[in-house]
Structure 1
Amino acid sequence: MTATAESWGELPGPVAPSAIRAALPPQEAGEFDREYRRAMAEATESLDLTGVLTMLRRWQRVVWSAQDPQSHRRMLDHADRLSRGQDVPTEPWETTKARLCL
C-alpha cells in the first residue's frame, strides 16, 4: 500500500522520503538526510516507526512552506533570531486570521 497525504491526514504533497527530499530547498537536504538516518536507526532499534512518520510529516510541512521561497526564508530567519533571543515582529492571531480571511 502506498502512503498518501489523505491517509496521513496531513498537507497535500509528497509523503515518500525520496519525494520529500527531492522537493526540499537544496540548503535543507543535508539536515533532512541526517535526521532521516537518525530516525530510521532509532526505529530499527525500537521496532516503532512513529518517530519516522512524525519526522516525515514535519518535513512535509517544510516542503509545503518552501513553495514560497521568500516567505520560507523569512520564517527561517525569524526562527534563527528567536533562538538567539532577539525580538521578532509579531501580530495577534486574530489579526493574522483576518488578514488571511480565515
Structure 2
Amino acid sequence: MLPEEVGDFDREYCLATSEAGETLELTGVLALLRRWQRVTWSSRDERAHRRMLERADRLSAGEVLATEPWSVTRARLGV
C-alpha cells in the first residue's frame, strides 16, 4: 500500500468495523480486507502500481487507452 493510501484504508476499516459492531456481521470487514490485500500485492512494485492508478484515472475520465482482457493479462503474467 502506498503511503497516500493509508488514510483511505484507515477510514474504510473504521467504517467497516463500526458497522460490524452494530450488525454483528463481519462480511463487510472481510471483503474490505480482501480488497486491500489485493492493493498491497499490487503495490509491491510501487512504480507499476502508480502507473496502474494513473491509467485507471485516465480511463475513468473517459480517455481511450489500449486495454486487454483479464484472461490475456493473466496468461501474459503467468498467473
TM-score normalised per structure 1: 0.67
For residues 29 and 87 of structure 1, the distance between their equivalents in structure 2, rounded to whole angstroms, comes to 30
For residues 81 and 32 of structure 1, the distance between their equivalents in structure 2, rounded to whole angstroms, comes to 22
Residue 100 of structure 1 corresponds to which residue in structure 2? 77
For residues 35 and 67 of structure 2, the distance between their equivalents in structure 1, rounded to whole angstroms, comes to 23
Residue 64 of structure 2 corresponds to which residue in structure 1? 87
Residue 24 of structure 2 corresponds to which residue in structure 1? 47
1:14-61 Cα offsets, whole Å, 9 max, x none, are xxxxxxxxxx22110000011001111111111101100100110011
Gaps of 5+ in 1: 1-23
| 1:22-101 superposed matches below 5 A | 24-93=1-70, 95-101=72-78
Q: Give the share of equivalent positions with the same residue, in percent.
A: 59
**Which protein is richer in helix relative to its size?**
2
RMSD: 1.8
Amino acid of the residue matched to residue 5 of structure 2?
A: E
The size of the alignment, in residue pairs, is 79
Structure possessing the higher relative contact order (Cα contacts under 8 Å, 6 or more residues apart)? 2
TM-score normalised per structure 2: 0.84
Which structure 1 residue ranges, 4+ long, deviate > 6 Å from structure 2? none
